[in-house]
Amino acid sequence: MINDTIAAISTAVGSSGISVIRLSGPQAFEIADRIFRGKTPVRDQKSHTIQYGRIISPETGETIDEVLLTKMESPRTYTREDVVEINSHGGYTIARTLLNMLYENGARPAEPGEFTRRAFMNGRIDLSQAEAVMDIIQARTDRVSRVAVKQLEGSISRKLEDIRERLIELLSGIEVNLDYPEYDAEEVTLAQAGETTKKIIGILDELIKSFSFGKLLREGMEAVIAGKPNVGKSSLMNRLARKNRSIVTDIPGTTRDIIEEYINIKGIPVKLVDTAGVRKTADRIEQLGVERSVQAIAGADLAIVLVEAGTLITDEDEAILKKVREEGKPYILCINKTDLIMDGSRLEKLKKDMPDAVFMSIAEDTGIDELEERIFRFAAENIHDMDNQVLVTNARHESQLKKAKAYLESVYAACQSGMTLDMVALDLKAALEELGKITGHHADEDVINAIFSRFCIGK
Ligand SMILES: Nc1nc2c(ncn2[C@@H]2O[C@H](COP(=O)(O)OP(=O)(O)OP(=O)(O)O)[C@@H](O)[C@H]2O)c(=O)[nH]1
Ligand SMILES: [Mg+2]
């Protein structure tokens, strides 16, 4: 039973119009009454209403701030406990002073994620939904937050509940057979058990497959821009990021270090990495930059390899392409500076000869849309209907699904090879347990602690 009351500032630190201080727990109204003076005491205020008042220091009688106070009675609240939210004037100092007053009057500092943790402990949300709250806080694009909101609404939970129900039905059928053979209960045959299990494995497979796309949505994809010096890598970075992030000059060897920027391509977050041009050089600093470029290629999900239209693929370019291929990196070959080719028919011929390459001129702003489309297509490969299907976005969920699937595979194998039903029952139970860890039906304290420790304070 939770019996203390927690408080924290729930808005971001920094200058702002207002700050929200949140108080949750059985003494929330009592504590608020110790420092708040409004028309009605908080304990008598109607639930889910807001009232104007002042925060008064109990010691000095001094007015600290004018505030709006919202009272929300359990259980229709975020945590399912009694909740008070105080909108104070913005600025860290006032909110901090107010918070300290709450601490002095009986509240305790909330730990990161503790409000959401209480919502979980009090059964308002399950673990996968708590994780969705976290995803929404950290979402980098609209599309990501849409998926997270769906999870918060329980799309994964419902799908898992459905699977669990089918497993439980199968398991209870088997157990009736095992425990009461004298009852004339309808017999579950190994063949039936195998068939049901196979269907469920199929559903789990689909969920597991959705993870690679879910991960892409959440964590984003890393695309490295590689090429020899002066081909326009930094110009491309700036164009895609729509700001002057990297220094561009006509001097080869301008970029010396890795430069990163998050961009949003049709709703998918992409970490773009601009690198130093790869070439042999005696300059020590440039050489270090080149080494980093090579490492960046190895670490990325996708390489965008730039070459110049005028020279086409030189030995230097070939060396970079070789590196990319050795790493087994998917790549998009871009031919930049097409504006420098005056002869139109020559350009047409080049395009015909290299049908997979993207021809572009950053100077004339051509071909960039095509590159963006190609990056998006790469990201979304093999994924259809992604806005409507249930997506697994969380590595922990994926790993649990895989464990459950492994148990079900052994159930299926047992059914095929004519094992006994009691062997099957054990693995079915284990599969159920692994699934239950996703929503928190079976989660250990350690897992729960790890999840909530990733939250920020005040959520
Ligand atoms: N004509 C023409 N010039 C371009 C184009 N794109 C980039 N440039 C020019 O090429 C030069 C080099 O551009 P950067 O973006 O600095 O090239 P980089 O690949 O980052 O070069 P390093 O950092 O030195 O490896 C600059 O003078 C750019 O203005 C283009 O499409 N056409
Ligand atoms: Mg550069």
Q: pLDDT by residue (tens digit) across 250-288?
A: 999 899 989 999 888 887 788 999 999 988 888 888 888
pLDDT at 1: 55
pLDDT tens track for 8-20? 998 876 667 889 9
- Do 254 and 375 lie in one domain? The reply is yes
pLDDT at 221: 84
Closest atom of ligand 1 relative to the 364 alpha carbon: 31
- Do 305 and 175 lie in one domain? The reply is no
Buried b (16+ CB within 10 A) or exposed e, 60-72: eeeebbebebbbb
- Do 376 and 417 lie in one domain? The reply is no
Q: Is the CB of 339 under 6 A from ligand 1?
A: yes
CA distances from residue 340 to 3, 60, 456 in whole angstroms, order as listed = 73, 76, 52
CA distances from residue 436 to 151, 290, 294, 393, 441 in whole angstroms, order as listed = 16, 48, 43, 17, 5
Q: Is 80 exceeded by the pLDDT of residue 48? A: yes
Residue 357 falls inside a structural domain: yes
3-state secondary structure (DSSP) of residue 27: coil
pLDDT at 171: 87
Residue 115 falls inside a structural domain: no
Q: Is 50 exceeded by the pLDDT of residue 384? A: no
Q: Above pLDDT 70, what percent of the chain?
A: 93
pLDDT at 451: 76
- pLDDT range class, residue 387, cuts 50, 70, 90: low
- Do 370 and 260 lie in one domain? The reply is yes
pLDDT at 134: 76
Q: Whose CA is nearest to atom 26 of ligand 1?
A: 250
- Do 398 and 437 lie in one domain? The reply is yes
Residue 457 falls inside a structural domain: no
CA 87 – CA 71 distance, rounded (Å): 12
Q: Whose CA is nearest to atom 11 of ligand 1?
A: 250
Look at residues 21, 15, 12 and name the one whose alpha carbon lies nearest to residue 102. Answer: 21
- Do 339 and 264 lie in one domain? The reply is yes
Closest atom of ligand 1 relative to the 238 alpha carbon: 15
Q: Which two tokens stand for residue 34?
A: 């110790």
Q: Which of 330, 357, 380 is a domain's end point?
A: 380
CA 272 – CA 336 distance, rounded (Å): 18
Ligand 2 ion: residues within 5 Å (CB): 233-234, 254-255
**Full residue range of the structural domain in which residue 16 is found:** 6-110
Residue 388 falls inside a structural domain: no
- pLDDT range class, residue 225, cuts 50, 70, 90: very high
Closest atom of ligand 1 relative to the 252 alpha carbon: 24
CA of 246 to the centre of ligand 2 (A): 7
Q: How many domains does the chain have?
A: 3
Q: Above pLDDT 90, what percent of the chain?
A: 47
pLDDT at 388: 56
Q: Is 60 exceeded by the pLDDT of residue 382? A: no
CA 307 – CA 320 distance, rounded (Å): 10
Q: Whose CA is nearest to atom 32 of ligand 1?
A: 337
- H or E stretch covering 56: strand 49-56
Q: Whose CA is nearest to atom 7 of ligand 1?
A: 232
- Do 372 and 308 lie in one domain? The reply is yes
- pLDDT range class, residue 185, cuts 50, 70, 90: low
- Do 369 and 291 lie in one domain? The reply is yes
0.85 cut: is pTM over it? Answer: no
Q: Which of 341, 358, 380 is a domain's end point?
A: 380
pLDDT tens track for 59-116? 889 999 999 999 999 999 999 999 999 999 877 788 889 999 999 999 999 988 899 9
The residue with greater pLDDT, 233 or 456, is 233
Residue 401 falls inside a structural domain: yes
**Best substitution site from 235, 245, 256, 347 to test ligand 1's pocket, by max atoms within 8 Å of Cβ?**
235
**Best substitution site from 230, 279, 339 to test ligand 1's pocket, by max atoms within 8 Å of Cβ?**
230
CA of 300 to the centre of ligand 1 (A): 22
Residue 248, C-beta contacts closer than 8 angstroms, at least 6 positions apart: 234, 235, 238, 254
Query: What's the whole-number average pLDDT of the chain?
Result: 87
Q: Which of 354, 380, 406 is a domain's end point?
A: 380
Residue 51 falls inside a structural domain: yes
CA torsion sign, 28 to 31 to 35 to 36? positive
Q: Is the CB of 363 under 6 A from ligand 1?
A: yes
Residue 126 falls inside a structural domain: no
